[in-house]
Structure 1
Amino acid sequence: MPRDNPVHGTMTDPILAIRGLEVRFRTSDGELAAVKGIDLDVDAGETVAIVGESGSGKSQTMMSVMGLLAANGEARGSVKYRGQEILGLPSRALNRYRGRKLSMIFQEPMTSLDPLYRIGDQLAEPLMVHGGLGRKAALKRAEELLDLVRIPDPARRLKSFPHELSGGQRQRVMIAMALANSPDVLIADEPTTALDVTVQARILELLGDLQKRLGMAIVFITHDLGIVRRFADRTYVMKSGEVVEHGPTEGLFAAPKHAYTRMLIEAEPSGRKEPVPTGSPMVLEAKNINVSFHLRQGLFGRSAHEIRAVAGVDLAIRRGETVGVVGESGSGKSTLGRAVLRLLPASGLVRYEDRNLMPLDRKAMRPLRKELQLVFQDPFGSLSPRMTAGEIVTEGLLVHEPGLTRGERDRRAAQAFEEVRLDPLSRHRFPHEFSGGQRQRIAIARAMILKPKLVVLDEPTSALDRSVQKGIVELLRDLQQKHGLAYVFISHDLAVVRALSDEIMVMKAGKVVERGSVAAIFEHPREAYTRELMAAAFLDRREQITSC
């Protein structure tokens, strides 16, 4: 129905009107109700945020709008774009709206980008299909879009494949793709999840500028309430598939009426990690680690462009210690983590307990893999869609503990699910039946079930809402204290890093620019780059952080 437009102050019909929307999934355990009859309006030019914990139904609400539910999902109710009913339209009819009028930025970019096609080709396709551009004009516009989302050297990146970009860079490509045809409604599903804090701030500024220029409406799905408070005109709070509270963002934050809303606002990883016991033995020591990538260029790849991803980095970590590694996308954080685990070629020294890992080949490393685990940044890309969650979690047991019976593996899976705060019965479901945050917890369970000694955690909480992040931080602390685990914790979320780490390394362009204790880095950062990271991370939250 017509109502006051919060942006323009006029009586208008909503550009997107959702009424009585229900989303259900058929599972082996029966029918699962993900969204339970919600109403939601989006006006032209405004930003509407949908917030809630993992599994609240916020992503599935917008997936149903775009006609992108999984094969076992069904949506009922009404979704109208400019008064036209679009829910239930055949794909060909819906394609007149998708990509041009309605566009979506997905939470997990690696699953949305084709690994076999170059970035330029993937950006050019929607410009040619929906915008009517020729290939040459589409590639020129694609380069402009990459520059718009702050990807360095955009002309060269057009020729890159998705695996050659960092997680944050891939997310920026997805943003560029969604904005290609200047949509009326941009649905952004956790669009800054994979981005470091400085790029996050620039992306939000960019989206705001584009919104003003194009009159574009934005539906912002996120668990980061700091972003919501700065960015959204109105906010819908979802819990268990229902809207429990909605209204103008400023008023909702100032005086939340529902207890669940108050809990979300107050949730923040807090406390400090217990110090490492005196005399704790060294688990891993790496010295002068260097990693370079050679990108082939020219006809038949005759010339090569070298990228120095990690340059002369040292790392030492003891039993029970957490070393936090922070820095912008492309700084070399994730590459360093993989290098010390011997998952990619590197030079230097890596000593695990009493063994030098550098001379070991793949076969010699295999027995050590159980003790050296990695939790990936992109959970959906690392979980097989053909296996149940329980089979995924116990897959490593088949290799490292082959004597276990099927029943024993299943019992271990149930225990692992309980440890990461998931219903053990859900281990019989498939990855697409979980929310993004739940899938990340499955990835953590897969690593922890092997009882490792060292775990490299690559953005393990990036897809989780704040309340779940707090629980995961507490879980990681408990597991570490119980088993004496050593963690390399790679993240752009400085609040989580602060709550979990003993020492922090700040990386930029492959090098460590500053390192020190948590107190030294947060209270007295020496480098301008470190201070810039702090300012971007704690914007609008300085009082909360300093009081933790």
Structure 2
Amino acid sequence: MPEPKDIILDVRDLKVTFDTPDGSVEAVKGIDLHVRAGETLAVVGESGSGKSQTMMGIMGLLAANGRVTGRAAYRGQDLIGLPVKALNAVRGAKITMIFQEPMSSLDPLYTIGRQISEPIVHHRGGSFRQARTRVLELLELVGIPDPRRRIDSYPHELSGGQRQRAMIAMALANDPDILIADEPTTALDVTIQAQILDLLRSLQTRFGMAVVLITHDLGVVRHVADRVVVMRRGEVVEQGLTTDIFERPQADYTKMLLDAEPRGEKPPVPTSAPILLDGQRVSVDYATGGGLFSKRSGTFRAVDKVSIRLQEGQTIGVVGESGSGKSTLGRALLQLVPASGVIHFDGQDISGFDRRAMRPLRREMQLVFQDPFGSLSPRQTVGEIITEGLYVHEPELSRADRDKRAIEALKEVGLDPQARNRYPHEFSGGQRQRIAIARAMILKPRLVILDEPTSALDRSVQGQVIDLLRSLQDAHGLSYVFISHDLAVIKAMADYVIVMKDGEIVEEGETETLFAAPRQAYTQTLLSAAYTAV
């Protein structure tokens, strides 16, 4: 049956299969979808739903052990099984793709200008020198400041937002029909995220291209998509107009995704609650220099005279963009980086404590990181990871006692105790974060610094981790410093909020008051830029 004239990409019975040592794994199980000219189609679902593999299969970009079958017709031409030369005439020209993390997609050995020139030279011919004029036009189009200077910059010399803009410039080089954006804003701060989404919308209007947005952020989808395809475990469970999906979802899975947005609020602790952590005029300076043979040196102030007072049972949310100093502040409070100022923990002045002096306090002051996979040793079992701290802080425990404690810790974070005999790579992102939390909780701490603990997780998994952290706080009277750029999560978790910019506090107050009536322009910008329901 011929498709309507405005359908430019028609996908029928698409299957993606990977050959593994344990047999074939079907990542995409015969799905149908289509893309109309000029529209924004959002493909949503949790990690492992098959949304990215669907587009990689269409583009012929699967890993070596991947196979794709079915039909993906671009303006009537089936891309599946197309010879590489013919496929290359389409991808990079008519259909282009940008990825979640531009730093891993850009070659660190080549300048931004050279990399943006490549698709121009490949598809249009000519030299890299001749393509330079077009590259300058593209850099200006995507809003990179001072394009004549930045064209010769390397990826590491650009900010995260600028790198993503460079990727968009590369994707637009040949005026594509379809732009596939795979989680293009997940790794960005809320204000940069808003800028990138606004940029994509304006470029879409200017060039009349279709955008396929792959994401798990339903807040973004609600604001930018015309239609939505919901995927789960390699299948399409629901698709339709964005308004219909959000207002009248039919599939239980879609309803679950919509309900996974962080909800609830934490009431303030009584004013009489004891002070557990008190930092006054905390500052952190880093030495800067031009390299081994440079005579120029100086200092960069990452945290500038910040004061913070945390009560027992309280959660203070620390928000701000990348480079605001929020993570550095968390490490300074734990004496993990050299800092000036005065820090008291449970009434004891720990300012300037060295590693040896801090060791007895470490069990009461724990840290949970953003990326649990990077912070968990791949060579240790989960049981060994969780109990590692017990060797230092409770060396008298027997092996059986440590194993018992590991079982208790895993149960408390909602994991099967048998997990202690497995390795981190065998678990999902949410499960690995539960393991990281168990490692901290096994020592029965009083203070936990949580540094972006949910930003790498799907919304539904975020909700589970938030519920877990709340229950642990209630059960053990924990105090949290919760560092995040996700305002929806902060609103659900914290009873007090500190807003940081350029190493300083620009505003602070009780969560409900700050979100309802922010006083400072910067805070207002953060809140207005948030696409999630805060």
Tell me the alpha carbon deviations over residues 237-293 of structure 1, each in whole angstroms, 9 at most, x when there is no partner: 112221011122233334333233233334432222244366544333222222344
Match of 2:228 in 1: 235
Matched with 1:439 is 429
- Mapped contact 1:23–1:75 kept (Cα < 8 A): yes
Name the SS of the counterpart of 1:481 in structure 2: helix
**Are 2:317 and 2:496, in contact at CA under 8 Å, matched by a contact in 1?**
yes
* Alignment CA distance shift 1:497-1:411 (3 Å): same
Task: Specify which of 513, 530, 535 is matched with residue 528 of structure 2.
Answer: 535
Q: What letter corresponds to residue 482 of structure 2 in structure 1?
A: F
Counterpart of 1:302 in structure 2 is: 295
1:129 aligns with 2:122: no
Q: 1:398 & 1:496 partners in 2: Cα distance?
A: 30
Per the TM alignment, residue 407 of structure 1 is displaced from its structure 2 partner at its CA by 12
1:14–1:39 CA distance, 2 compared to 1 (3 A): same
Partner deviation per Cα, 1:332-368 (whole Å, 9 max, x = no partner): 2233223333444443333334555553445655665
Of all paired residues, the percent bearing the same amino acid is 51
Q: CA deviation at 1:464?
A: 3.3
Are residues 1:59 and 2:58 paired?
no
Give how far 1:84 is off.
4.9
Distance 1:85 1:369 in 2: 60
Deviation at 1:153, TM superposition (A): 7.4
Corresponding residue for residue 21 of structure 1: 15
- Structure 1 residues 149 and 430: CA distance shift in structure 2, 3 A: farther
What's the CA shift string for 1:93-120, capped at 9, x where partnerless?
Answer: 8666655554433334565566xx37xx
SS of 1:20 mapped into structure 2: strand
Distance 1:98 1:391, change over 3 A: farther
Equivalents in 2 of 1:73, 1:417: separation in Å?
A: 37
Cα root mean square deviation, aligned = 4.3
Per the TM alignment, residue 182 of structure 1 is displaced from its structure 2 partner at its CA by: 5.1
Distance apart, 1:494 and its partner CA: 1.9
- Contact 1:166 1:329 survives alignment (8 Å): no
Q: Which residue of 2 aligns with 1:416?
A: 410
Please name the residue that 1:448 is paired with: 438
In the other structure, the counterpart of 1:491 is 484
1:40-79 Cα offsets, whole Å, 9 max, x none, are: 2223432110112333222332343445555665544444
For structure 1, the residue ranges without an aligned partner over 5 or more in a row are: 5-10
Measured at CA, do residues 535 and 342 of structure 1 come closer, stay the same or move farther in structure 2, by a change above 3 Å? same
Matched position secondary structure for 2:228: strand
2: CA distance between counterparts of 1:282 and 1:139?
60
Query: Partner letter of residue 49 of structure 2?
Result: S
Q: Which amino acid aligns with 2:203?
A: L
- In the aligned structure 2, how far is the partner of 1:58 from the partner of 1:356? 52
Query: What does 1:139-218 align with in structure 2 at a 5 Å threshold?
Result: 155=149, 162=156, 175=168, 178-179=171-172, 183-218=176-211
Does 2:2 match 1:41? no
**Counterpart pick for 1:319 among 305, 312, 320:** 312
Given that 1:99 and 1:126 are in contact with CA atoms closer than 8 Å, whether structure 2 keeps it comes out as no
Determine if contact 1:454/1:485 at 8 Å carries over to the other structure.
yes
Task: Provide the rounded CA distance (Å) in 1 between the counterparts of 2:457 and 2:257.
Answer: 12
For residues 362 and 392 of structure 1, what CA distance do their matches in structure 2 show? 26
Counterpart secondary structure, 2:8: coil
How do 1:374-393 and structure 2 match up within 5 A? 374-378=367-371, 387=378, 391=381
Describe the superposition over 1:190-243 as per-residue Cα deviations: whole angstroms up to 9, x where unpaired.
222233333322211100111222333321122222321221122101122210
Q: Aligned residue for 2:475?
A: 482
Report the equivalent of 2:515.
Answer: 522
Using the alignment, how far apart are the partners of 1:372 and 1:161 within structure 2?
Answer: 37
- Note the C-alpha offset of 1:173: 5.8
Report the counterpart of residue 347 of structure 1 in structure 2. 340
Counterpart residue type for residue 26 of structure 1: T
Kindly indicate whether the alpha-carbon contact (under 8 Å) linking 2:372 and 2:436 is maintained by their aligned counterparts in 1.
no
1:218 aligned counterpart, secondary structure: strand
What amino acid is the match of 2:406? R
Paired residue type of 2:187: A
The answer on whether the counterparts of 2:285 and 2:300 sit within 8 Å (CA) in structure 1 is yes
In the alignment, is the contact (CA less than 8 A) between 2:43 and 2:214 conserved in 1?
A: yes
Q: Distance in 1 between matches of 2:376 and 2:115?
A: 28
User: In 2, Cα distance between the equivalents of 1:488 and 1:166?
Assistant: 26
Structure-to-structure mapping, 1:214-225, within 5 angstroms: 214-225=207-218
Between 1:141-150 and 1:295-304, the stretch displaced more is 141-150
1:459 equivalent in structure 2: 452
SS in 1 for 2:344: strand
- Does structure 1 residue 468 correspond to structure 2 residue 461? yes
Q: Secondary structure at the match of 1:450?
A: helix
User: Which of 238, 244, 247 is residue 251 of structure 1 equivalent to?
Assistant: 244
Pair 317,239 (structure 1): closer, same or farther in 2 beyond 3 Å: same
TM-score, normalization: structure 1?
0.78
Q: Is the Cα contact below 8 Å between 2:44 and 2:228 reproduced in 1? A: yes
Distance 1:168-1:37 versus aligned 2 partners, 3 A rule: same
Residue 455 of structure 1 aligns with an amino acid whose one-letter code is V
User: Residues 295 and 305 of structure 1 are in contact (CA less than 8 Å); yes or no, is this contact kept in structure 2?
Assistant: yes
Could you say if the C-alpha distance between residues 346 and 476 of structure 1 is closer, same or farther in structure 2, counting changes exceeding 3 Å?
same
